[in-house]
């Protein structure tokens, strides 16, 4: 069988075809970074129709598109599209990183006791779906025409098969109860948001429809092939890395840094720092979403007019601890170890010696690793599941320096993989779902190709622990705790 995965990310649409006998056989990518618009403070939006056109372009560019026998779609978690009764977007998609609805997030907590109680599984902030819906209701002139609130992957799947469905994994930020897989009806009632606006739920791996004649003409895909219910981009990345067993953790180092650990049950976090998602079969993902990642790295590249490769090489020549330079890589607020949307990035400890591109870049890499180390510690303490291995994917994982710092900071072995993309994870889910949901581990073994393993260096453990603790303390002293 040949299965297709479609990944709609922040900056690109990527596709991958997985052959159950030969592994990955084809892929494509289309840049969509120019689609993002920021018309106001904390806004991040883009045209859903333009996203679909780019998906179609990416599919048409694939050499083996006509051989595909099943497909699945993933996209960013928490991005929503308000559509009318015909499925047409009424306004731009509000991206996951959009923070315009911070006041509405407070309104959710004020109005809904159920949402307050459920925060031990899903902390409420502006990245979630319901605050965005409340913002739309208050500010969108045509809100009365809204017939549905779709996640971005649901919208693309609808364009392919004409059917609207979502999964408990995709709809996790829409207050789908991780314990039951159903919407928390009481939260919607408290907020007076009709549940009829939300897409019906089907399980991950279920066939939800078939590619229509119209979609076939637009994309070059065969008409009638099954569309398999999928997951978010981060979860697809987990699958693509082979993070499938209890105690394994995948860190996606993309525009934002997200960690997911496989656990056997959702355990409430009384401090509201981590969230849970349904995963495959009886397992769950304990997640920590952060505002660290590659955003500050890209900004530094632009500021110095140097490539990531150049700065990575310079960083490799800088000692651990950056000669006293410390950086906060979360530039748009923090979610762990404390939720504070007011936090911005900073550098502390600049001297004539460490004011170099290599030091500044490495300090951000060390900051990313410090944030990840915090997330791992929280997941272990709450779930009582020991993390035995870290796997990494995303653009930031191409940095050998970053990966080694993660190993040193966490004290865990880090496995980087060849050509890991969320699209490959969605292709695996498509093959798994269309094939009767039999042992996805065997399928993943054919796609997962280890690139390099990084071992923690014990002599650096104390330096990095001090860096991590100092970053946490200074951030709290500068910005306070919310």
Q: What is the pLDDT of residues 2-13, one digit of tens each?
A: 999 999 999 999
CB atoms within 10 A of CB 131: 28
The answer to whether the peptide bond before residue 12 is cis (omega within 30 degrees of 0) is no
3-class secondary structure for 140-167?
Answer: CCCHHHCCEEEEHHHHHHHHHHCCCCEC
Which pLDDT value is given to residue 6? 98
Q: What is the pLDDT of residues 176-192, one digit of tens each?
A: 999 999 999 999 999 99
Which pLDDT value is given to residue 29? 94
Which pLDDT value is given to residue 215? 98
Which pLDDT value is given to residue 64? 94
How many angstroms separate the Cα of 124 from the Cα of each of 14, 106, 274, 381? 30, 8, 11, 21
The answer to whether the beta carbons of residues 93 and 150 sit under 8 Å apart is no
Distance, in Å, from the CA atom of 446 to the CA atom of 20, rounded to the nearest integer, reads 8
CB atoms within 10 A of CB 120: 19
Which residues sit opposite 414 in a β-bridge?
A: 390, 454
Mean pLDDT for back-to-back runs of 10 residues, the chain (482 residues)? 96 95 91 96 96 97 96 96 98 95 97 96 94 98 97 98 97 95 97 98 97 98 98 92 95 90 94 90 90 95 96 98 97 87 95 98 98 96 96 90 98 89 94 93 89 96 95 94 70
Which pLDDT value is given to residue 89? 98
216-250 as b/e: b if 16+ CB within 10 A: bebbebeeebbbbbbbbbbbbbbbbbbbbeebbbb
Q: Which of 320, 254, 286, 275 is nearest to 97 (CA)?
A: 254
| 3-state secondary structure (DSSP) of residue 102 | helix
> Domains in the chain, please, with CATH?
2-234 (3.30.420.40), 242-419+449-482 (3.30.420.40)
Which residues touch 103 (CB under 8 Å, ≥6 apart)? none
């Amino acid at each position: 069988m040949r299965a297709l995965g479609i990944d709609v990310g922040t900056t690109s649409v990527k596709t991958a075809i997985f052959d159950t006998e030969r592994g990955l056989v084809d892929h494509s990518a289309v840049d969509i970074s120019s689609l993002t618009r920021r018309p106001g403070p904390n806004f991040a939006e883009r045209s859903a129709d333009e996203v679909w056109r780019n998906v179609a372009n990416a599919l048409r560019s694939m050499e083996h598109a006509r051989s595909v026998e099943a497909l699945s779609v993933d996209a960013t978690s928490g991005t929503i599209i308000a559509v009318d009764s015909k499925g047409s977007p009424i306004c731009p998609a509000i991206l996951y990183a959009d923070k315009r609805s911070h006041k509405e997030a407070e309104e959710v907590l004020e109005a809904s006791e159920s949402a307050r109680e459920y925060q031990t599984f899903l902390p409420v902030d502006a990245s979630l779906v319901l605050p965005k819906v409340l913002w739309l209701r208050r500010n969108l002139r045509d809100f009365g025409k809204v017939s549905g609130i779709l996640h971005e992957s649901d919208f693309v799947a609808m364009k392919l098969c004409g059917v609207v469905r979502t999964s408990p994994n995709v709809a996790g930020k829409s207050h789908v109860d991780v314990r039951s897989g159903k919407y928390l009806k009481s939260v919607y009632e408290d907020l007076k948001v009709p549940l009829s606006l939300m897409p019906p739920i089907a399980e991950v791996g279920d066939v939800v429809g078939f590619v229509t004649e119209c979609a076939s003409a637009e994309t070059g895909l065969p008409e009638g092939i099954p569309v398999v219910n999928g997951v978010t981009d981060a979860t697809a990345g987990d699958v693509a890395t082979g993070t499938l067993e209890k105690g394994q953790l995948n860190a996606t180092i993309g525009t934002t840094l997200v960690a997911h650990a496989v656990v056997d049950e959702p355990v409430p976090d009384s401090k509201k720092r981590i969230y849970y998602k349904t995963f495959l079969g009886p397992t769950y993902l304990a997640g920590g979403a952060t505002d660290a990642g590659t955003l500050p790295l890209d900004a530094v590249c632009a500021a110095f007019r140097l490539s990531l490769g150049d700065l990575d090489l310079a960083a490799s020549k800088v000692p651990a601890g950056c000669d006293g330079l410390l950086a906060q890589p979360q530039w748009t607020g923090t979610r762990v170890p404390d939720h504070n949307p007011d936090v911005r990035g900073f550098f502390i400890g600049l001297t004539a010696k460490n004011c170099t591109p290599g030091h500044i870049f490495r300090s951000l890499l060390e900051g990313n690793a410090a944030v990840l180390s915090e997330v791992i510690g929280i997941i272990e303490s709450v779930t009582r599941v020991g993390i035995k291995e870290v796997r990494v994917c995303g653009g930031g994982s191409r940095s050998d320096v970053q990966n080694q710092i993660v190993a040193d900071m966490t004290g865990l072995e880090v496995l980087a993989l060849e050509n890991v993309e969320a699209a490959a994870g969605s292709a695996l889910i498509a093959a798994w779902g269309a094939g009767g949901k039999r042992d996805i581990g065997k399928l993943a073994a054919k796609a997962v190709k280890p690139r390099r393993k990084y071992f923690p260096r014990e002599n650096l453990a104390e330096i990095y622990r001090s860096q991590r603790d100092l970053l946490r303390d200074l951030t709290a002293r500068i910005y306070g705790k919310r």
